[in-house]
Chain A
Amino acid sequence: MMDSDLSPQDKKDLDKFIKFFALKTVQVIVQARLGEKVCTRSLSSPTGSDWFNLAIKDIPEVTHEAKKALSGQLPGIGRSMCVEISLKTSEGDSMELETWCLEMNEKCDKDIKVSYTVYNRLSLLLKSLLAITRVTPAYKLSRKQGHDYVILYRIYFGEVQLTGLGEGFQTVRVGVVGTPIGTITLSCAYRTNLAFMSTRQFERTAPIMGIIIDHFVERPFGNMGHMRPCNYRAPGEDEGAYNGVEDSQEVCTTSFSTSPPSQVRMSPLSKVDLCNMCNFRGGVHGEMGIPGKEGGVPQQVPVQPCHGAQAEHGRVSSCPPADHVPATPSKTLSRSIEVKGVSPCDVLETTFTRKVGAFVNKPGTQVTTASLDLPFAAFAPRAYDLEENDPMVQPPESPATSSPLQGSLHSQGSGESGGPAQDDFVMVDFKPAFSKDDLLPMDLGTFYREFQNPPQLASLTIDVSSQSMAEDLDSLPEKLAVYEKNIDEFDAFVDTLQ
């Protein structure tokens, strides 16, 4: 069918229908995956702004993403619009769940009336889409999204990509509408194998364009207090006709968060703009004649880059060492990333100084006392031949912890003491303030380590306990005899308690 057989008005109308049908399709799909029930009101009087006579609200961010994907083009032959729905866990694993495809093939229906039949059939197709979006497996998953996982969407234009759906994916056809320039088909390919795969299999070369949809108030992926609701109001719009619909949409309050800031944008929303004015003119008997303004979103939604799950993990791991008290063996301390700057194993190659602190008890350890009077004397340059006996160099067998103060001081000292260029950490002896004690010279770290691992009580050993048990059993009759003899005393004692 040549486009020239179509009247200019019909061509213009058809292009507009296809454009708004594509936008509404995206809205229906995304809203069905928000995780909450959708509810819109029927209106007996036409408002002139509801495309296809269906109350489908327009989430501005979704419209924006869809328009961006379309980039001024329309779905056509060889140019499909796809909405990909995927799942992402709090651990960062992701999995494609389904792909909705709006395509056009070359089969034309020359005799069909554009502004009547095509319009009504597109309306019917949207109703079918509403029904089918509740039937595919992703719907149930999206209703249960929350702390463990969220549902993402991505809109792209061009060739359909179904490889991410795994083997054995199923396809359901939502419907077809013939037009003079081709047949519009809407279908969904959905994953059937929901066994989770590793993230590596889902690494993409292209960034995810879509938005993470999460509707929960508490942020499961960490503190996302920087997110703000988007109170969007289109200026000069009459919202009176939509009050009821807006009220019903309060339950659809959603917030959006993003994964890596370079990839996605976040635009949470609490109110939804409904005033998507459309321009539709018909002149044939029985058609609608509803003048309206040109559609589109008059305002840009404020976009703010945000941190998502991966960034949140990064945030957690970069907490200041002073706040962190790891309980890791000293031998592995150098491998710990949580405590900055602590690396006792590395001190084999580093210069360090030791000072005697409170409760330090180090037999055989030669320590000068000259520096005991000097706070933070550990930072004074000094050489001690103590490496062989020093537990900081030769860590004791029992597990030891480093104090947070030691860690923080170490990180401060590392800059000042200036170890070898290739070493990151310099072990500095810690002399806490007010720790001078001549009776029990022992530095705090040593004290802490030794008292962390006291010897086991003799009475708790198995042999001792079994012996005592046997003895106890043997002595039991004698004890009972004594108690019976003194029973009056016990009764008198009990009476005094009452």
Chain B
Amino acid sequence: MNCRSEVLEVSVEGRQVDEAMLALLHTILLHRSTGKFHYKKEGTYSIGTVGTQDIDCDYIDFSFVRVSSDELDRVIRKAVGEFKDAMGNGTDGMGQISLEFYQKKKSRWPFSDECIPWEVWSIKVNVVNLANEQERQICREKVGEKLGEKVINIVEVINQHEYLPKMPTQSEVDNVFDTSLKDVQPYLYKITFQITDTLGTSVSTTMRRLIKDTLAL
């Protein structure tokens, strides 16, 4: 099974990074979360209800819908916050935050469980610095429009109805879904990011070069 990979690119101002990332990540997770499963003795299960809520952005002319789950929101905000800190405040730069949905495959001892991604969303962020308030106002609107386009892109991909993990039995549910939350149940996911400095090189590349140069001396 090939992992489906989608890339979204946005250019934002420094203070818009949080909201832009939250908007896109929550839109994806809205489609990749279900209600809590409740298994019954005869092998059937029932599914809880997913609520939704509108969120207005403060620095972008944009509103988005997310799953009504404060727990999930906290987890996503934490990841986005770390990404933003890594990007640095108020400086130009590029970075990429990835939301990866995966399945766990049990392995025998001593091998650890394998994580097999089945869908990866990569959001490339280009942070720009703006000189004055007028540019910021224009940026508010432009970024709002761009995010709208990205939401449409996300919906287009999701509604192609490509691979989705099969609904698991009760014993397998933790291999497919994140059952740690109390109110909703997203597919197993992880968020990673990498930062590119202004020179266009990633931090890892720079470190590798430094080490090589050191060894060469």
What per-residue 1/0 map shows which CB atoms of A262-299 lie under 8 Å from chain B? 00000000000000000000100111111000000000
Contact of A38 among B44, B54, B67 (CB under 8 A): B54
Interface of B is mostly: mixed
Which residues on the B side are within 8 Å of A174 (C-beta)?
155, 159
- A42 and B159 contact, CB distance less than 8 A: no
Q: How many residues of A contact B (CB 8 A)?
A: 43
Is the C-beta of B214 less than 8 angstroms from some C-beta in chain A?
no
- A175 and B49 contact, CB distance less than 8 A: no
Which residues on the B side are within 8 Å of A175 (C-beta)?
155, 158-159
Please report the C-alpha to C-alpha distance between residue A176 and residue B160 in the assembled complex, in whole angstroms: 8
Please report the C-alpha to C-alpha distance between residue A437 and residue B35 in the assembled complex, in whole angstroms: 90
- B31 and A127 contact, CB distance less than 8 A: yes
Which of B50, B61, B182 has the most C-beta atoms of chain A within 10 angstroms of its own C-beta? B50
- A55 and B64 contact, CB distance less than 8 A: no
Please report the C-alpha to C-alpha distance between residue A47 and residue B46 in the assembled complex, in whole angstroms: 10
Is the C-beta of A39 less than 8 angstroms from some C-beta in chain B?
yes
Considering the complex, which residues of chain B in the window 63-99 have a beta carbon less than 8 Å from any beta carbon of chain A?
A: 63-65, 67-69
Please report the C-alpha to C-alpha distance between residue A128 and residue B65 in the assembled complex, in whole angstroms: 10
Could you count the A-B residue pairs with CB atoms below 8 Å apart for me: how many are there?
Answer: 131
CB contact under 8 A between A40 and B44, given known A50-B49, A176-B159: no
- B46 and A40 contact, CB distance less than 8 A: no
- B46 and A288 contact, CB distance less than 8 A: yes
What per-residue 1/0 map shows which CB atoms of B49-63 lie under 8 Å from chain A? 111111110000101
What per-residue 1/0 map shows which CB atoms of A96-133 lie under 8 Å from chain B? 00000000000000000000000001001101101110
- B45 and A55 contact, CB distance less than 8 A: no
Please report the C-alpha to C-alpha distance between residue A162 and residue B190 in the assembled complex, in whole angstroms: 43
- B50 and A54 contact, CB distance less than 8 A: yes
CB contact under 8 A between A140 and B50, given known A53-B35, A125-B159, A127-B31: no
Is the C-beta of A46 less than 8 angstroms from some C-beta in chain B?
yes
Contact of A124 among B44, B49, B152, B158 (CB under 8 A): B158
Is the C-beta of A374 less than 8 angstroms from some C-beta in chain B?
no
Contact of B49 among A55, A125, A143, A248 (CB under 8 A): A55
Q: How many residues of B contact A (CB 8 A)?
A: 42
- B183 and A131 contact, CB distance less than 8 A: no
Residue of B nearest to A143 (CB): B63
Which residues on the B side are within 8 Å of A289 (C-beta)?
40, 44, 46
CB contact under 8 A between A134 and B43, given known A43-B183, A128-B158: no
Residue of B nearest to A282 (CB): B44
- A286 and B159 contact, CB distance less than 8 A: no
Please report the C-alpha to C-alpha distance between residue A26 and residue B50 in the assembled complex, in whole angstroms: 18
Residue of A nearest to B150 (CB): A135
Which residues on the B side are within 8 Å of A288 (C-beta)?
44-47
Contact of B50 among A38, A53, A282 (CB under 8 A): A53
Please report the C-alpha to C-alpha distance between residue A180 and residue B123 in the assembled complex, in whole angstroms: 37
Residue of B nearest to A125 (CB): B159
Please report the C-alpha to C-alpha distance between residue A446 and residue B150 in the assembled complex, in whole angstroms: 74
Min CB distance A279 to B, Å, is 15
Which residues on the A side are within 8 Å of B68 (C-beta)?
39-42, 55
Please report the C-alpha to C-alpha distance between residue A173 and residue B153 in the assembled complex, in whole angstroms: 10
- A135 and B35 contact, CB distance less than 8 A: no
Min CB distance B214 to A, Å, is 49
Residue of B nearest to A174 (CB): B155
Is the C-beta of B124 less than 8 angstroms from some C-beta in chain A?
no
Mind listing 5 A-B residue pairs with CB under 8 Å? A124-B31, A128-B158, A174-B159, A286-B167, A290-B46
Known: A39-B54, A46-B47. 13 other contacts (CB 8 A): A43-B49, A43-B51, A53-B47, A53-B48, A55-B51, A128-B155, A128-B158, A135-B148, A135-B152, A140-B61, A176-B159, A245-B51, A282-B44
Nearest first, the 4 closest Cβ-Cβ pairs linking A and B are A175-B159, A37-B54, A40-B51, A42-B51
